[in-house]
Structure 1
Amino acid sequence: MNLDYNAFSNSVLSAMVDDHFPAQTEFTPQLVLNSEDEQVKTHIEQELRTCSGFTFAVAFISNAVLTDLKVQFADLATKNIHGRILTSTYLGFNQPKVFQELLKIPNLEVRVLDQNADFHAKGYIFNKSDYQTTIIGSSNLTSNALIKNYEWNIKFSSLENGALTTKINQQIEAEWQTAHPLTSDWIDQYSEYYQSISSLKPKNVPVFQAEAKTNLKSLQPNKMQKDALQALQSLRQSGQKKGLVVSATGTGKTYLGAFDVQNFAPQKFLFVVHREQILNKAIKSFQKILGGPQSDYGVLSGNIKETNRKYLFATIQTLSQEKTLSQFDPQAFDYILVDEAHKTGAKSYRSVINYFQPQFMLGMTATPERTDDFNIYELFDYNIAYEIRLQDAIEENMLSQFHYIGITDYEFNGEPVINDQTPLKHLVSEERMQYVEQQLDYYGHDGDQIYGLIFCSRKDEAREVAKIMSAKGHPSIALTGDDSIQQREKVINEFEHGKLDYIVTVDIFNEGIDIPKVNQVIMLRNTESSIIFIQQLGRGLRKYPNKEFVTIIDFIGNYQNNYLIPIALTGDQSMNKNNLRSHVLIDQTIGLSSINFSEIARERIYNSINSSNLTLLSKLRDSYINLKNRLGRRPLLGDFQKIGSLDAQVLIDKYGNYHQFLLKMHDALNLSELEDHFLRLVSREFSNGMRIHELVLLKQLLERSSPYPQSDYLNELRSLHTYTDPTTISSVESHLNLSYFQPNDQKKYGSLPYVTVKNHSYMLDSRIVDMYHKNSYFRSLVDDALNIGFLNSQKYLSNQKFTINKKYTRRNVNSLLGWPTDQSSAIYGYKEKMGFCPMFVTYQKRVDIPDELNHNNIFFNSTTLSWYTKSPRRLDSNEVVRLFDGNKNDTIDLMLFVKKNDDEGSDFYYLGQVDFDFDSIEQQFRTIKGKEKPIVKANLNLRAPVDYNLFLNLTN
C-alpha cells in the first residue's frame, strides 16, 4: 500500500477537525466497539492481514480467542512476519493453559509482567511499511471483550515520528525490558502459584440444563424451549393431533419433550427411539422433569417388557414386532413421542405410527431434510410447531461454543496432495500424519485432557490413523460400521474415562451418540454433505462442566465440494455464489463461536465456489422437493425466500421465470405463450428489486381495469421516497413497452408493448389483464415475481439509483442509468452517455486476456485506483478530453464498478462516484499485437473509501 501523506493528514483532520476533509478508511481515527455492524476482533484481524509485525500489550488472554488468532499467526509465519505479546499475571486471570498455548506459536515472542506490576493495559500495535496503526482502549484479548462486551477503543494510524506513537512505543519497550521471557520453566512455576490461588477463587462452573446438579423445582425450560412449548400448546388448541419440532443436536430435545409431556399430563405415555443407549438416557431426563416413583417408568426393549407402566420407553426394533404391537390397544397411549423422527420413513416406524391412535403425537428431529422420497412433514400433518436451528441455538447459548479452524491439508512443495482420488498410502503417509499431529497440537483443545473425535472417509483409513496416532503417544481406537454395539459402547466408556485421546471413525457417529466431554473434532475427509458436516460438528457441541468450547479442525484438501463448507457452517442454502463468497470473505462469529480460515484454505473454498455448478438440476430438485414436502403444496418463489432456502434469483437467472423451472419439476400447470413471455419479462428484468418503479406500476395496472394517471403514479413513487426524474420515468415506460430491449430480448418477452401511455395515463394490455384475472396459476406466478421484487428492493437504497457495495452487471447499470436502449454488450471497460460514465474494472486479470484489455489496475489505498483509457487514445483525443473536462466541470458523473476476477461472474461491486486525479494523468504506450499503441493513464479518487473488508478481499 502506497502512503499518500496528504491523504494521511486529511484522514486525521477528518476525524479530529472537520469531517469534510477527504478520508481513507485505513488511516482515519475511529471509535472501535462491538455492535451489530462491527466487532473489535474484526479490526484486529484486518490489521494482522496487512501488517509487517505487531505488538500486543494486554493483561488478560483467553484460550478461546487465542485459538482463533492462531490461524492468522500461522499465515504470518509463512511470510516470515513475527509479533510480540506483553501480558501479565495480574489478578491471576490468565490460566497456565493460555501460556502453554502461547509458547506453541513459533513466530511469537511473549513476555510476562508479574502480579505486582498491576499491568492492566489493552493495546494492539501493528507495524506497516511506513506507518503504524494502534488500537487502544478497554478490550483485553478475550472473546467477550473482542466480540460481545460493550467496549470502547480508539483506532488510529501514525507515522513513526508522531509524538503519541513515540510515547506508546516507549512505554511498551520500558515494560518489555522488565518482563519475564515466557519459557516452559516459568510456566511450571506459575502453574504452582495458580493452583495455590485457585482454591481461594469462587468457582465459576457453567450451569446448564442438560447437566445441572440441582433439585427438580429449579429445572426450568430455557427461552427457546418456552417458545416451543407455547407453540405446541397452540397447535393442540387448534385441534391438531400431530406436530414436529426441528431442534439442533444438543439443544435439549429430550428435555423439551419431557416438559411438553408434563404440560399435557397423559394417563399413559410412549417414547419411541431407535437405540437402547438413547432410551436409558431419555428415561433419566424424563424422571428429572416428571418425577414420580421409579415404578412409573418402564422399558420395552429386547427381553425387557414392562408394558404396564405409566411412562413406557420402547425401542422401535422391539415395539414394531407384530406379536408385541398387537398386545396394545391402538388407543392405549394419550401421548406418543417419536425421537429421531427423520427415521420414520422405515417400515418399522410406519407400522407403529399407523397402528396407534393417540390424542397427540410429537416427532422430534435435528435433520428433517431427506435424501430419499419419504416426506416426514406429511407424516406429521405439515405441522412444524417450532424450529431451533444450529446457528440460533449457538446465539442463545444453548450449546457449547465452537471454534472452527479451516486449514489446508498436507501439501508437498507447496502443491496440494490430498484430493478426491487420493489413495490410502498417501492419506496415512508418515509425512501427512506428522503434519496432522503438528496441527492438532498447535491448535489444541480446551481443558487439560484431549477428548477427540477424528472423522475419516474410509474404514481402512480410520484403522490406520488410529494405529499411527497411538504410536505417536495419543491412545486411539477406530470404530466403524463393522464393530458391534457392544464394542462401540465399550470404547465410548473407555474414552469418557480418559483412557483414550481419540476415537477415529467414518460415519457411525453422525447422530445418536452423546459424548458431552468431546472438546476436539477433526475432519480428515471431504465434505460430501452439509447435513453430515453439521451432524459431525454437532458431536462436540454438548455442554459439559468446565468445558468452554470445542475446537473443530478441518483439513481442507483440493476437493471439488469445498463450497459445501460455508453452506454447512452458516446454514445458507441459497445456492447464490455471491452470498457464499461473502461468508468466506472474512472470518465470522456466531455468538461467541467463530469460523476461521487460513489464507490458502479460504482461497481453496473461494475457487470451489467459483468453479462449482450450484444450479445443477439435481441440486435444485432436492431443494424444491424438500420445500414442497414441508409445505404440502407447490411452493412459490416467495416460499423459498421466507424459509431461507434456495435464492429465487438463482432460479430466475437460470430458467427465465419460475414456470419454466416448474416444467422441469413436472409440477407446472398450463400457461399460454403470451403469459410465459410476460412472466419472463417481470421475472428477469424487475424481480431483482434494484428499481421498484416498474413493480409499483405493474401492481397498480394489474389490480385495476381503468387507466392509471401518471400524476398518481408519480405521487405513489414520491410516497415511497424514491426518485422520479424524467429520465427514469421514460426508462420505465421503454422497459414496459419493450422499446428498450434489443430484438433478441424483445422476442423472448413477446414483442408486445405491454404498457402504453394515452392521455397522460398508463394502460396495461387488456389480454394480460384478462389472463391475470381468469388464470389463477398465472396470477399466482406474476404476484409471486412482483413480491420477490419488492422483497429484494429492501436491500437497496430507494432514493438512489445505485447502492454502494451492492453488485450490478453491465446490463443492470445500462438499465438503471435510464439509457434509451440496451447497449450493455458494447460497454466493455467504460462508456460515456447522457452525463454518466460507468467504469468497469476487473482487478485480477486472466492470464489469457488480450493485450488491449490487460490494464494493470492497482488500488494504492482504499480511495485511489489507477485507471486506463481504451487504446489507441492520446491526451488530446476527443473522448479523453470530453471525460476530463466533463469531470472537471461536473457535467459527467464517473461511477466505479469493480470485481475481483472473472471467476466471480458478470457482476461488479459499485464503489461510488470517483474523480480524476489530474496531477496523475500521463500519456503512455503499450505494445499490442506487436505494435506500439498510445493509451492514457490516470488515477481515480473515490469520493467514499472502499469498505475495508471488501478492499482487502479485492486486493488480496
Structure 2
Amino acid sequence: MTKLELVTSELLGHLQKLSNEATEIYWITAFAMKSGVKLILPFLKKAADRGVPIKLLVGDYLYVTQPEALDLLVKDLPQAEIRLWKSGGTSFHPKSYLFRGTDQSYLIVGSSNLSASAMTRGVEWNLIAPSRVDETVFEEAVVQFMEHFYAEQTVPLNSETLKSYRERFNQANQSRPVSDAWSEAEEVEITIGPSQPQIVDDPPENYITSVEPRPAQQEALEALEQTMAEDYNRAMAVLATGLGKTYLAAFFAKTFKRVLFVAHRDEILQQARSSFSHVHPDKTSAFYNAAKKDTDADFIFASVFTLGSQHHLNHFEKDAFDLVVIDEFHHAAAPTYERLLKHFEPKFLLGITATPERMDNKDIYSLCDGNVAISIHFLDAIRRNWLAPFQYYGVYDDTDYSTVRWLGNRYDEEELLRVQLREEFAERIFERWQEYKQTRTIVFCSSIKQSQYMNQYFQEKGIRSMSLNGGTPANERRSARHRLESGELEAIFTVDLFNEGVDIPKTDTLLFIRPTESLTVYTQQIGRGLRLADGKSHCVIIDFIGNYRNADVKLSVFDTEPGTGKTKGKNEPVVPENCGLELDVAVVDLLEEFRKKRAPRKELLATAYQNLKQELGRRPTYLEFHLQANADARAVRQEFGSYFGMLLFAGELSGAETAIWGKFKLWFLEAERTGMTKSYKMVVLAAMLEKGSVHWYEPVTPEEIAPFFHRYLTEKEYRRLIDFNDKQGKKLRDYDEQGVADLVARMPMTKWSGSATEGLITFVQNQFVIHLEPSATEQEVLFEWTKQIADYRLHVYFGRKADRLL
C-alpha cells in the first residue's frame, strides 16, 4: 500500500495482517473490552512468539476499560510491555495502532477502541497511513507514543496494578453508570484542560560567550580525565542547573572522534548542537529524531524516543561512537534508555544531570559502574559564587489539602482546583508576592486552570503577566521567554514548563503556589532562578506551605548539613551563609506538628511501598525499595527500626511473618543499626549467608570467612578504593589467607560481638556465633530477610563512601 486508506468497518483484519508482518507493534487505546482483547490475542501472541516487541497503552478514563480485558492481556501476553494510563478524570481518547515493518511501516488513527464491535461491524472511521506516504508522520507518532507510554501518569500492568484498578472500577461503576459519568468528565476536560506536561517550543539562547571552560566545568573536566586515567569507561557528572552541563560535554568531547548525544526533548538536542558547534566549529553535526535521521556526521544528536527503538538501533554498529553522552541522566533507568545503553559500546559513556535522583528513585549509580566523577550540588555552587544566592520565604497556606484525594503520585486535579480557586487565596498570594518579589517572576502552578485563573487575577491588579502552556499560540510561546527577559513581562504563570532545558537567567523571583509532590521536580524548578545574570544579586523564593504531602521534608533540599540534626531554628535547615531562610510562624507551627505526629511520614513511606509493589507486581525487596521507591529509604530505619517493621505497619506481613518479626525483632534491629565505619560486618554476614537458609547462622571461624571476605573486597574496583586498607595501611590484596583471617577476627568479629545486644552475638575461642534458634518453618523467612538487610546496607555503604571520595 502506498496511499492513504479509509477503513469504516472490519478493522480487525487489517490489524491481524499488519501484526503478522510487523517488526515492532505499538498500540494506544482509550478503552479495552474483553470482547476485543479475545479477538486480537491470537495474532499478537504469534507476533510475540516471533520475538516482536509489543507495547500496549490502555486508558482508565471513566473506568470503561474492563478489568477482565486487562487480566487477559496480563495472563496471555506475558512477553508484551503493557501500561495503564491513569487519567485522574481528565479526558484520554486516543485510538492509534503503529506497526513498524522491514520495508514499510503503518500508522492507523481513528475511532476504534479494543472492543469487538469497534473492530468488526461497528460504525467506525480509521485512516491507515503507510510510511511511504509520509515517513515523518510515522516517526512523530512513535515519539508521541513513547512519551505517553513512559509518562508519569502510567503504571505497568501486572497483578498488583490490576487488583488496584479492579477496586476502583468496581467502586466507580457501583456509584454511577458510565453513561452518566461521561458528560461530567467531558465538562472537567473543558474546564481544566489536558493534564500531561507541556513544553516551550523554542530552544533557549546560549548565554555563554566564551569557548573556554568556566571554573565548575574545568573542575569537572579534570575529574573526568582522572576517571579515564583510572581505566573507567563510564561515569556520571552531577552539575547543578546553571553550571553548564552541555558545554561540559562539548569540552570533554574534544578527545573523541565521533560523539552521540542523547536526550528526551528536541529543545535539549537543539541547544546541545548549538553548544557543541560553538566549541567545535570545524566539526559536522546532525539530528537523529522523528523529523531527521542523518547518520553521517561527527556529532549525532538523537532523541531517545526515536533511537531507543531497536529498529533504529540496528542502523548503528555497537562501536559506531567513541563517546556517548546521555543528558538528564536521571531518566536513564527508564527501559528506553536501558535498551540504548545495552546496544552501544563506546570508549566512554558520560551521563550528565543536575538531579541524580530519579522521580521514582530508580538506581542510576549502577548504570555508570558506580563511578560518579564529580558532584556539585546547587548549594555548593552558591557557596562558591557559581550560582546566585537565594532568599527563601516560607509562607503559610491555609488550604486544607487533607480533603483532596491522593492518586498515588499526585493530587486529584479536579478536587485540587476546588480548594485552590478561591479569591481569598488569590488575594493572599498577590499580597505576599508584592511584599517580597523583585523584577521577573516565574510562578509554578498545579494545573493549567489554576495558572489561567491566577494570571487573570494578577492582570486585573495591573500586573504585566501571562499564562503559558502547550495550548498557547506558537508565536506567544516563542516570545514569552524574551518578553520576561527584557522586562516587558513581570510574571509567567506555568505548570511544568521550566523544569528542564529552558532557562531565563534574569529570573530573580520564583513563586510556588502548588503542593510539592516531587522533591526532584522542586529542585529543578528552584534551579530556574539561580543562574547568574548582570544586575541580579540574588533570587527570591516565595513558597506557600500547607498541610500537603512532602511539606515536612521539602526544606531538606536547602540544608547544607543534611542528616546532622543541626538547624538554624525550630525546623529550619542550615542554608549557605550568603542565603537567607524565613518561615511564617504558622509554617513553623505546622512543621512542628508534622514532626511530633510523624505519622504522615510513616504513611508516605507506606504509600511509596504500595506504589512500588504495584509497579513490580510483587513485594519489593529492601534494596529494591531503596533504589526504586519514591521515598528515602533512610527514613525507614528512623520511623520503623527496620524495613520489615514498615511492612508490618503497612499490613503486608502474614500471620506467620508477623510472628517471626516478633520473635527475631532484636536480630533484625541489630543487623539494621550496627555501626559501619567499614563494610566488614556486613561482608562477614554476606559470607555466612552463602551457606543457605538452613546453615547460615551456624558458628563460623575467621578462617572460613577469609576467602569470601578477600574476594568480595577486591573483585570490584570501587570496593578496593574504599575498603582495601587496614589501620597499618597494608592492602588487603597483599594479605595471605591467614592475614585476612586475622583481620576478620580482629575487626568485624571482635567488634560486633562487643557492641551487639548482650548475648545475641559472641566471638569466643575463635567461634563467631549469632544466637538464633529458628524452627524449620521459620528458617527461610529469617534467611531471606537477613539477606535483604545485608544487601541493602552494603549497597548504601559503598554508595555513600563513593560520594565522599569525590
TM-score normalized by structure 1?
Answer: 0.44
- In structure 1, what is the equivalent of residue 268 of structure 2? 278
Secondary structure of the corresponding residue to residue 769 of structure 1: strand
List per-residue Cα deviations over 1:283-309 (Å, max 9, x = no partner).
333344x3333x533334454455322
Cα gap change, 1:681 to 1:399, in 2 (>3 Å): closer
Q: CA deviation at 1:425?
A: 6.1
In the TM superposition, residue 335 of structure 1 has moved relative to its aligned partner by 0.7
Residue by residue over 1:449-487, the C-alpha shift from the partner in whole angstroms, topping out at 9 and shown as x without a partner, is x32111112221111111111222112222345558776
Task: Say how many residue pairs are matched.
Answer: 488
CA deviation string 1:33-64 (max 9, x = no partner): xxxxxxxxxxxxxxxxxxxxxxxxxxxxxxxx
CA distance in 1, matches of 2:701, 2:447: 60
| Native 8 Å contact 2:761 2:770 kept in 1 | no
- Alpha-carbon displacement from aligned partner over 1:171-228 (angstroms, at most 9, x marks no partner): xxxxxxxxxxxxxxxxxxxxxxxxxxxxxxxxxxxxxx984544x4xx2341x44443
1:419–1:557 CA contact under 8 A, matched in 2: no
From 564, 579, 587, the equivalent of 1:593 is 579
Structure 2 counterparts to residues 130-145 of structure 1, below 5 A:
none
- Seen in structure 2, the aligned counterparts of structure 1 residues 749 and 246 have a Cα distance that, compared at 3 Å, is same
Shift of residue 681, structure 1, vs aligned partner: 6.2
Residue 540 (structure 1) shift = 0.9
1:349 maps to 337
Distance in structure 1 (CA, Å) of the matches to 2:672 and 2:345: 47
SS of the aligned residue for 1:342 comes to: helix
Letter in 2 for 1:244: M
SS in 2 for 1:251: coil
Equivalent in the alignment of 2:495:
506
Pick from 397, 403, 413 the counterpart of residue 391 of structure 2: 403
Q: Distance in 1 between matches of 2:369 and 2:544?
A: 42
Q: What SS does the corresponding residue of 1:554 show, helix, strand or coil?
A: strand
Partner of 2:351: 363
Contact 1:331–1:358 under 8 Å retained in 2: yes
Pair 765,604 (structure 1): closer, same or farther in 2 beyond 3 Å: same
- For 1:511 and 1:560, how far apart are their aligned partners in 2? 23
Q: Could you say what secondary structure the match of 2:543 adopts? A: strand
The corresponding residue for 1:199 is none
- CA separation in 1, counterparts of 2:361 and 2:314? 29
Do the aligned partners of 1:426 and 1:432 also contact (CA within 8 Å) in 2? no
Sort the Cα spacing of 1:653 and 1:274 in 2 relative to 1 into closer, same or farther, 3 A. Answer: closer
> Cα deviations across residues 661-710 of structure 1 (Å, max 9, x unaligned)?
799999x9xx99998646656877x8699xxxxxxxxxxxx9999xxxxx
Structure number with greater CO (CA < 8 Å, separation at least 6) is 2
Given that residues 659 and 676 in structure 1 are in contact (C-alpha distance below 8 angstroms), is that contact kept between their aligned partners in structure 2? Answer: no
In the alignment, which of 429, 436, 444 is matched to residue 437 of structure 2?
444
Q: Does the aligned pair in 2 maintain the 1:475–1:501 contact within 8 Å?
A: yes
State the alpha-carbon separation in 1 of the partners of residues 661 and 595 from structure 2: 37
* 2:622/2:789 contact within 8 Å kept: no
Match of 1:311 in 2: 299
Q: How has the CA–CA distance of structure 1 residues 440 and 319 changed in structure 2, closer, same or farther, with 3 Å as cutoff? A: same
Show the 5 A alignment for 1:570-719.
Answer: 570=559, 579=565, 584-585=570-571, 588-613=574-599, 616=602, 619=605, 647=634, 651=637, 654-655=640-641, 677=666, 680=669
Q: Is the 8 A contact 1:302 1:318 kept in 2?
A: yes
Provide the rounded CA distance (Å) in 2 between the counterparts of 1:517 and 1:441: 18
Return the offset for 1:646: 5.4
Once residues 498 and 617 of structure 1 are traced to their aligned partners in structure 2, the CA distance between those partners, rounded to angstroms, is 45
Q: Give the corresponding residue for 2:237.
A: 245
Q: Which runs of 5+ in 1 are unaligned?
A: 1-208, 690-701, 706-735, 739-747, 756-763, 792-956
Aligned-partner Cα distance in 2 for 1:765–1:679 = 22
Once the two structures are superposed, the pairs formed by residues 400-439 of structure 1 within 5 Å of their partners are 400-409=388-397, 421=404, 424=417, 427-439=420-432
Match of 2:543 in 1: 554
* 1:244–1:703 CA distance, 2 compared to 1 (3 A): same
Are the equivalent residues in 1 in contact too, given 2:560–2:576 (CA < 8 A)?
A: no
Distance 1:749 1:500 in 2: 65
Amino acid at match of 2:428: Y
Is the Cα–Cα contact under 8 Å of residues 572 and 645 in structure 1 kept in the other structure?
no
Using the TM superposition, give the Cα deviation of residue 781 of structure 1 relative to its aligned residue in structure 2, in angstroms.
6.2
1:508-907 superposed matches below 5 A: 508-559=497-548, 561-570=550-559, 579=565, 584-585=570-571, 588-613=574-599, 616=602, 619=605, 647=634, 651=637, 654-655=640-641, 677=666, 680=669, 769-771=768-770
* 1:769 CA drift (Å): 2.5
CA radius of gyration, larger in = 1
Mapped to 1, the partners of 2:662 and 2:426 lie a distance apart of 62
Alpha-carbon distance in structure 2 between the residues aligned to 1:360 and 1:782:
29
Distance 1:542 1:352 in 2: 32
Does the 8 A contact of 1:334 with 1:358 survive in 2? yes
Q: For 1:220 and 1:504, how far apart are their aligned partners in 2? A: 34
2:575 aligned counterpart, secondary structure? strand
Among all aligned residue pairs of Structure 1 and Structure 2, give the percentage whose two residues are the same amino acid: 26
Distance 1:615 1:772, change over 3 A: farther
User: Is the contact between residue 587 and residue 597 of structure 1 (CA under 8 Å) also seen in structure 2?
Assistant: no
Q: Does 1:256 align with 2:248?
A: yes
Q: 1:469 to 1:481 in 2, by over 3 A?
A: same
CA gap of 1:403–1:595, structure 2 versus 1, over 3 A, is: same
With over 3 angstroms needed to count, the CA separation of the structure-2 counterparts of 1:420 and 1:394, relative to structure 1, is farther
Change (3 A) 1:661 1:443: closer
The structural deviation recorded for 1:625 is: 13
Q: Rate the CA distance shift 1:408–1:239 in 2: closer, same or farther, 3 A.
A: same
- CA separation in 2, counterparts of 1:570 and 1:607? 20
- Structure 2 distance, partners of 1:653, 1:437, is 38
CA contact (8 A) 2:469 2:494 kept: yes
Alpha-carbon contact 1:566-1:584 (below 8 Å) kept: no
Q: 2:261–2:327: 8 Å Cα contact kept in structure 1?
A: yes
Q: 1:496 to 1:688 in 2, by over 3 A?
A: same
Give, in angstroms, the shift of residue 634 of structure 1.
Answer: 7.8
Deviations 1:711-760 (A, max 9, x none): xxxxxxxxxxxxxxxxxxxxxxxxx999xxxxxxxxx968x5978xxxxx
How far 1:553 sits from its partner (Å)?
A: 0.5
User: Residue 121 of structure 2 aligns with which residue?
Assistant: none
Q: 1:772 to 1:493 in 2, by over 3 A?
A: farther
- Residues 621 and 292 from structure 1, CA distance in 2 versus in 1: closer, same or farther, beyond 3 angstroms? same
Specify whether residues 275 and 353 from structure 1 end up closer, same or farther in structure 2 by C-alpha distance, changes over 3 A only: same
Aligned-CA RMSD value: 5.2
1:424 Cα deviation from its structure 2 partner: 3.9
Where in structure 2 are there 5+ consecutive unaligned residues? 1-204, 405-414, 678-699, 704-752, 773-782, 801-806
Matches of 2:501 and 2:754, distance apart in 1: 60
Alpha-carbon separation, structure 1, partners of 2:599 and 2:529: 32
Distance 1:498 1:314, change over 3 A: farther
Could you tell me how far 1:542 is from its partner in structure 2?
1.6
The residue matched to 1:540 in structure 2 has which SS? coil
CA contact (8 A) 1:462 1:504 kept: yes
* Contact 1:529–1:564, Cα closer than 8 Å, also in 2: no
